Amino acid sequence: MKGVFVTGTGTEIGKTFVAAGLVYHLQKRGFQVGYFKPIATGGIRKKNGLSSPDVEYVKHLCGTHLAHQGYVFEEPVSPHLASRKTQIPIHLENIASQYLSLCKKYDLLIVEGAGGVAVPINDTGTLMTEVMHTIGLPIVLVGLAGLGTLNHTLLSVNFLQQNGLDILSIVLNKGERQELEQDNQKTLAYLTGIPVAGILPRIPGRVSMRKIQLAIENAEDIFVSVIERILHPKEKHHDS
């Protein structure tokens, strides 16, 4: 199965925007692509139960049939705390089973984590990296474009690599067209040896689905850069 696991240097970084952009542009190129959120908190209560806001986001942009969720908790807290408070344990084998089932339906899967790379999912020390290992896809790491991202992104890269995970690409988000952001992109590429696909701009003003769609369309070159690496991981590419 081809695809990626989208994670971030923290929460509210823009993982869902990046994941949705990859789904959108893969669909545009005719691929049967699915989206999977194995663990989510901050669930929205609907008639048929709790729904992940990130799943709803992807459904609005890309279609209701392709977005799938696993464990969903209502309170917007870390997965380990949500699991403890609801007394609903998170089992990696259940995530693996759902993932393998989805693999039979799609050409590619875009999987999105919850929170940052090291968020715990239970009280026994299991971290999000174990979910990544369970899925087995290469990583797209999303970080902020501005001041502070060098430290956060380098720490995240180091942690992922220490845990034996393959990072396919870094994407920087919420850019303000500042000079330091361009330097951050070059510095991260140099220090990590990992391609930095580009800087996605911050969406100005009140955010709507239409604005999000336009931003994804306008950033096609960045998303295509990541998609080329998904489809042809062993070929040389010309990112930063």
Report pLDDT digits (tens) over 86-107: 999 999 999 999 999 999 999 9
Tens-place pLDDT, residues 37-51: 999 999 999 988 999
Token pair belonging to 173: 């988000």
- Taken in order of first residue, the domains within the chain and their CATH numbers are 2-231 (3.40.50.300)
Q: Tell me the CB-side half-sphere exposure of residue 97, using CA atoms within 13 A.
A: 7
Q: Which of 37, 46, 174, 236 is catalytic?
A: 37
State yes or no: pLDDT of 5 exceeds 80: yes
Nearest to 118 by CA among 110, 126, 107: 126
List residues bridging with 106 in a β-sheet. none
59 labelled catalytic: no
User: In 57-137, where do the E strands start and end?
Assistant: 67-72, 108-116
pLDDT of residue 239: 62
Least confidently predicted of 108-117, 146-155, 226-235: 226-235
pLDDT of residue 226: 97
- Rounded to two decimals, the pTM is 0.96
